[in-house]
C-alpha cells in the first residue's frame, strides 16, 4: 500500500479506524436495545434506522460532497458522527430518541462514504484505482467483520457505555487523520440550490446508460440477496440442526470471504475488465446464496458463504473503480450517494419480503429463491452492460 501514496494511506487508516469503531458501536447498541426492551421489533427498527433511512436521502448526501471541499466534508462528518455517538453513550436514551440519533448518524455516514469514494481518484493514479479500492475494502469491511469479536472481548472489562465512548473516540481519531490529507481538487460550485444539485445528480444517472445499468443491477441483486441476514439463523438451527455457536459461525462466512477476496484483488484486480468483474461478483454472490440453501451440513454452508463473500468483494471493487473512471469528478459524490443509498433501500426491501417468504416457507426455499432472483438480475444486468457498450 505504500506505493499508493501518503494521502491514500491516511484515508485508509482513517476509514479503518472509524469502521472498526462503528462495528463495535453497532454490537453495543443491539445488545442495549435487546436488554432494555426485550423486543425483536425494537432490534429490527434499530437496523432499519441505520440501513434503510439513509437511502431515502442518498441524492442529498451525494450532493454535499459535490458542492464543498471533500477533505472538509469528511472531517466535519467524522466530528458530527463522533458527537452523536458520544450523546448516545452519555444519555443511553429511550428507544424513540435512540432511533432518531442512529438515523441522523447514518445519514451523515452516507455523506462521508460518498465523499471518501469520490476522493480516491484524486489521491492515487488511474492505474492504481483497482489496488486502492481493494485495499479500502479490506481495511473497512475486513475490520468490520472482526468488530463483533473485539466487542466480545471488550465486554469482559467494560459495558455498553464504555464501548460507545470508544466508538465516539474513533471518529475523532479519523477526523484528525483526514485533516492532514493533501489538498484535493476544488469543486466548481454549480450556483444552484442543494435540491437542484440533487435532482441533477439523479438526472445524470438516469440519462447515462452505463451508470443507470450498474445502479439498477446492483439494486436488483441486493434486493434478492440481502435476505441472508434474516434467514441464516433459521437455516443453521432448523434445517442444519446446529447450535448457537455453529449458527453464529455461519455469519462469519461472508466476512472471511471479503477479507480473502480483497486481499487477492489488491494484487490481481487490474488484470480484469471492471464490468466483467462486476458481473462475476453478482453471479458468484447470488450462486453462493442459492447453493447455501441446498447445503447438507454447517461446514458446507459456511464454505458457500465464504464463496459469497468473494463475490461481494469482486463487485465492490469493480463498481467503485469503474464509476471512478467513467463519471465526471463534478458528479462523482452524487453518483456514489445515490448508488449506496439505493443499496440501503434494496436491503430494506429484502429484509421485509424475504422475511415474509421465510415465514410462509422455510430457510432453504428462501435462500434458493434469493439466489435464483440474484442470478436473473445478473443476467439482465449483463444484457444491459452489453447494450450500453455497443
The CATH H-level (homologous superfamily) assignment of domain 1-179 is: MFS general substrate transporter like domains (1.20.1250.20)
Distance CA 37, CA 33 (A): 6
Q: Collect all residues with Cβ–Cβ distance below 8 Å to 39 and sequence separation of at least 6.
A: none
pTM (predicted TM-score): 0.83
pLDDT at 239: 83
Under a CB-based contact definition with an 8 Å cutoff, are residues 168 and 86 in contact?
yes
The values of phi and psi at residue 217, to 5°, are -65, -45
The CATH H-level (homologous superfamily) assignment of domain 192-390 is: MFS general substrate transporter like domains (1.20.1250.20)
DSSP, collapsed to helix, strand or coil, labels residue 151 as: helix
pLDDT at 245: 64
Nearest one of 130, 304, 312, 293 to 221, comparing CA atoms: 312
Distance CA 347, CA 58 (A): 14
The grid coordinates listed for 230 are 434474516
Helix axes 194-207, 209-225, angle to 10 degrees: 90
Nearest one of 262, 386, 263 to 316, comparing CA atoms: 262
pLDDT at 145: 66
pLDDT at 144: 63
One digit per residue, pLDDT tens: the chain, 390 residues? 556 778 899 999 998 888 888 888 887 887 788 778 766 567 778 877 887 777 778 788 888 878 888 899 999 999 999 999 999 999 999 999 999 999 999 989 988 988 888 888 888 888 888 888 888 888 777 666 677 677 778 888 888 899 999 999 999 999 999 999 888 776 666 666 778 888 888 888 888 899 999 999 999 999 998 777 777 777 887 888 777 667 667 777 888 888 889 888 988 888 889 999 999 999 999 999 999 989 888 889 889 999 999 999 999 999 999 999 998 888 888 888 888 888 888 887 887 787 788 778 888 888 999 999 999 999 999 999 988 776
Distance CA 146, CA 278 (A): 25
The 10s digit of each residue's pLDDT in 200-215 is 888 888 888 999 999 9
- How far CA 157 is from CA of 35, 65, 154, 161, in Å, comes to 18, 39, 6, 12
DSSP, collapsed to helix, strand or coil, labels residue 187 as: coil
Under a CB-based contact definition with an 8 Å cutoff, are residues 316 and 137 in contact?
yes
pLDDT at 1: 55
DSSP states of 38-95: --HHHHHHHHHHHHTGGGGGHHHHHHHHHHS-HHHHHHHHHHHHHHHHHHHHHH---H
DSSP, collapsed to helix, strand or coil, labels residue 220 as: helix
pLDDT at 161: 92
Nearest one of 113, 48, 14, 75 to 337, comparing CA atoms: 113
Distance CA 309, CA 287 (A): 11
- Within the chain, all domains assigned CATH 1.20.1250.20 are found at 1-179, 192-390
Q: How many residues are given for the chain?
A: 390
Amino acid at each position: 500500500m505504500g506505493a499508493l501514496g501518503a494521502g491514500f494511506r491516511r484515508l485508509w487508516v482513517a476509514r479503518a479506524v472509524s469502521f472498526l469503531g462503528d462495528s463495535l458501536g453497532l454490537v453495543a447498541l443491539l445488545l442495549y436495545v435487546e436488554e432494555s426492551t426485550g423486543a425483536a421489533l425494537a432490534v429490527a427498527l434499530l437496523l432499519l434506522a441505520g440501513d434503510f433511512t439513509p437511502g431515502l436521502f442518498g441524492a442529498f448526501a451525494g450532493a454535499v460532497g459535490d458542492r464543498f471541499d471533500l477533505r472538509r466534508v469528511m472531517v466535519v462528518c467524522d466530528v458530527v458522527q463522533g458527537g452523536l455517538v458520544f450523546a448516545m453513550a452519555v444519555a443511553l436514551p429511550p428507544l424513540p430518541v435512540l432511533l432518531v440519533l442512529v438515523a441522523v448518524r447514518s445519514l451523515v455516514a452516507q455523506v462521508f462514504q460518498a465523499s471518501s469514494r469520490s476522493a480516491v481518484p484524486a489521491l492515487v493514479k488511474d492505474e492504481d484505482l483497482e489496488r486502492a479500492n481493494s485495499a479500502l475494502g479490506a481495511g473497512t469491511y475486513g475490520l468490520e467483520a472482526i468488530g463483533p469479536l473485539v466487542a466480545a472481548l471488550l465486554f469482559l472489562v467494560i459495558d455498553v457505555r464504555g464501548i460507545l465512548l470508544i466508538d465516539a473516540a474513533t471518529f475523532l481519531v479519523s477526523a484528525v487523520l483526514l485533516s492532514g490529507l493533501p489538498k484535493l481538487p476544488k469543486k466548481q460550485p454549480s450556483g444552484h440550490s442543494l435540491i437542484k444539485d440533487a435532482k441533477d445528480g439523479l438526472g445524470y444517472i438516469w440519462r447515462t446508460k452505463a451508470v443507470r445499468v450498474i445502479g439498477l443491477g446492483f439494486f436488483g441483486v441486493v434486493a434478492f440477496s440481502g435476505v441472508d441476514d434474516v434467514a441464516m439463523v433459521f437455516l443453521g438451527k432448523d434445517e442444519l440442526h446446529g447450535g448457537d455457536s455453529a449458527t453464529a459461525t455461519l455469519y462469519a462466512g461472508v466476512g472471511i470471504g471479503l477479507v480473502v477476496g480483497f486481499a487477492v484483488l489488491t494484487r490481481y484486480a487490474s488484470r480484469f475488465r471492471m464490468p466483467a468483474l462486476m458481473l462475476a461478483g453478482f453471479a458468484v454472490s447470488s450462486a453462493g446464496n442459492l447453493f447455501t440453501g441446498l447445503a447438507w451440513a454447517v461446514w458446507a454452508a459456511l464454505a458457500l458463504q465464504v464463496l459469497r463473500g468473494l463475490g461481494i468483494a469482486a463487485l465492490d471493487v469493480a463498481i467503485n473503480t469503474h464509476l471512478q473512471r467513467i463519471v465526471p469528478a463534478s458528479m462523482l459524490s452524487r453518483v456514489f450517494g445515490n448508488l449506496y443509498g439505493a443499496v440501503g433501500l434494496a436491503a430494506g426491501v429484502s429484509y421485509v419480503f424475504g422475511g415474509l417468504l421465510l415465514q410462509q416457507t422455510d430457510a432453504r426455499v428462501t435462500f434458493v429463491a434469493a439466489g435464483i432472483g440474484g442470478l436473473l438480475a445478473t443476467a439482465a444486468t449483463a444484457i444491459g452492460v452489453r447494450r450500453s457498450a455497443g
